Structures are given as C-alpha cells and as structure tokens.
Amino acid sequence: MYTIIPLLLAHIQELNNQILFLFKFIVKNIPLNLPKVKDDSLFSPKYNKLKIDKLPIIHVPKKKDYKQLLDQYLIDNGKPLKPINHRGKNLVSSDVHCPCCNAPHNYIYDNTGGRGQLWCKICDTHFNHHNHIDNPIELHCPHCGGALSLEKSRKFFNIHKCRNRKCSYYQNSLKALSNHDLEEYKSNPEKFKLHYIYREFKIDFFKVDLYALPKNASSLIFRKFSPHVMGLCLTYMVNCGMSTRATSRVMREVHGVKISHTQIASYATTAAYCIKPFVDSFDYKPTNYLAADETYTKVKGSKRYVWFIMDAIKKSILGYRSSDSRDTISCILAISNVIVVYLLL
C-alpha cells in the first residue's frame, strides 16, 4: 500500500507536465482573438451604474451685487432699469431670488411659461428655482463642460446630472446600445445610465467621530459596582460564552452580587467600544487588494445592515459597520476605518 502512493504522485506530476506543455502549445500556435460583438452584455451601458465616473469640473463663480449693477446701468444708460411687469398667469414667487446677484423676484422673469427656467433681468443669468442650490461652487461635466443640473436631493447627498444630449459621454453610451437594449431604453429609460451623473455628499468627513460611544453604553465611572465585577461579567460572557441573563444568575448564585442583565449588556457594549480603537488601528499589513460587501442579518427579530471591507488576500477585516437602516453614513464610516488603517502604515 505504501508503494502505491509514490507511484500515484509521480503519475500526477507527469500529467501536470503534459497539461502545461499543451497549454503553452495552445497559447503559441492557436490564436485566441475573439470577434468584437456589439451586443456583448459585459460592455452594455446597463452596467454603467457600477462604473466610477470622472470627478466633475469645479467652477467658483463670482458673486455679483444687484444694487451695484443697477447703479452701473443708471450711469451707462442715464435711466434706471425698470422691474418686470408680470402680465401672465405664471408669476414668480416672492421668495425667489437670483443665485448670482441676489436680485429680488420683481426683476426675475418666468422664461419658459411655468416649466421651471427663470431669467434674471439684471445679470442675465438663467437658472431653475426648483432644483437650484445656492452653492459657492458650480459643477460641470468633465466630458462636455456643460453645467450639471440637480436631479435629486437626498438626506446625505445630492445627485447632479449632465442633460446635454450632445455630450460625448451620452453619445458613446447611446452608440454602445444593442438593438434590443435600445428598444428597452425607449420604454424604460430609468434602467440605463447614459448621462454623466455625480453624487455630491453633504457629510463633513472630518467631523465624523469613528469612536463615539453608543447611546446604550455606560460610562466607566463605577458607583454601585467595582471594576472587578465588570471583569467577572465579561469573563463569563466572553470566555464561557454565556448570555447576559445566565451571567446575572451566576453572579448572584456564585459571587453574591445582584446585578441585572441590562447592566451586564451595558458593560459589554462599553468594553467593546473601548477596545474598538485598538482593533481598528492595529497594523494588519494590508495589501492593495480589497473586497467589500453589504448584507443584512436579524438580531432579536429586527433587521440589521452590516458592511464589511476586508483584505482579499490575507482575509483580515479592515473596516466594518452595523446599522439599523441602510443609510449612506454607515457605508462611509466603514470606508473611513479602512482609510485610517492605510494612514497608519
């Protein structure tokens, strides 16, 4: 029996050498140039939502004062600029002002008959009151240079979109559509991303506290119990894998300490968040290959969302976050943990 194993290993090695020889022969002598197929689903614009687009071009516009512009108009023309005499049904609301020169509504004209676009008579600025934000910057498309329009406003970010149909990004995406996708795009355009889109996050990343204690955690100021009691509770929970109620019963029956299971849970939460900075800042010596995923689990009948970012080679978890809602801030906090790890290298 023992003499068969070396023979089998030698036979496996010989087969492996033959496979390597055939593989080299195929690579050298058989061309693998596949024909370019326009309908290939791997290059379909359906998957543009998974691509990372270029950053937009940021312009810082110069703010103007409508009072100075009115005075300059009086000097140049010898007469003041008259306000707009609105005669139509689409009147401009009194709370509307020009984002460029801050002109009041009586100098703003409804330029499209109630379809959204407004025009300032003083500084000759066209804007949309419904999707305009008084930002100190202007975002422009990196492909055509056109101004991005605000499409949606969420709690943590705004979505800007390039509406220029002559933009090279839109034209290339439209040409890449197959005949089947083109028919589907005409009936369901929301399934495709053909225009350039940029998300402007409204979160101040520098003010995000990664190590803040949760609301259900208790402080380390011991009034009723001592640190020794907390150590015993954590020993039974972590080392013995006992629940909070079983730990409370053991503490009462073995040590004569009457402590509730809620207090033990608070001790465990506080200890976990005190140890968390040391775990997050540990030098895992990560590689440049990362993998991230999002999933959900149930804890005591309620759904919890979990984000994990790990080293794809060493399998070490570099960033993680749990939340009761599928929000953007939790995902950003998980990414921030990874950034902190790489900054400590």
DSSP state of 39: T
pLDDT at 236: 92
Q: Which of 9-13, 84-88, 148-152, 176-180 has the lowest mean pLDDT?
A: 84-88
Per-domain residue ranges of the chain: 36-56+151-202, 66-128, 227-279, 284-343
Backbone dihedral angles phi then psi of residue 146, each to the nearest 5 degrees: -75, 155
pLDDT in tens, 209-251: 666 655 655 566 677 888 888 889 999 998 888 999 999 999 9
pLDDT in tens, 18-67: 888 888 777 777 665 655 444 444 456 667 777 778 889 888 777 788 88
Under 8 Å between Cβ of 136 and 59: no
DSSP 157-201: EEEEE---TT-HHHHHHHHT--HHHHHHHHH-GGG---S-EEEEE
d(CA 273, CA 223): 20
Under 8 Å between Cβ of 305 and 296: yes
Whether 200 has a pLDDT exceeding 80, the answer reads yes
pLDDT at 39: 43
Q: Which residues of 298-312 are buried (b: 16+ CB within 10 A; e: fewer)?
A: eeeeeeebbbbbbbe
CA triple 276-277-283, angle to 5 deg: 110
Which secondary structure element, helix H or strand E, spans residue 25, and what is its range? helix 4-29
Q: Comparing 285 with 40, which gets the higher pLDDT?
A: 285
pLDDT at 45: 66
Under 8 Å between Cβ of 284 and 269: no
pLDDT in tens, 98-125: 877 888 888 888 877 766 778 888 888 7
DSSP 247-258: HHHHHHHTS---
Whether 143 has a pLDDT exceeding 80, the answer reads yes
pLDDT at 38: 45
Assign 126 to helix, strand or coil: strand
pLDDT at 142: 92
pLDDT in tens, 291-326: 888 888 887 788 889 989 988 888 888 888 888 888
Under 8 Å between Cβ of 228 and 220: no
pLDDT in tens, 174-199: 888 888 888 888 888 888 888 899 98
Q: How many residues are given for the chain? A: 345
CA triple 66-87-74, angle to 5 deg: 30
Under 8 Å between Cβ of 199 and 190: no
Assign 105 to helix, strand or coil: helix
Task: State what percent of residues in the chain have pLDDT above 90.
Answer: 8
d(CA 207, CA 204): 6
pLDDT band at 132 (very low <50, low <70, confident <90, very high): low
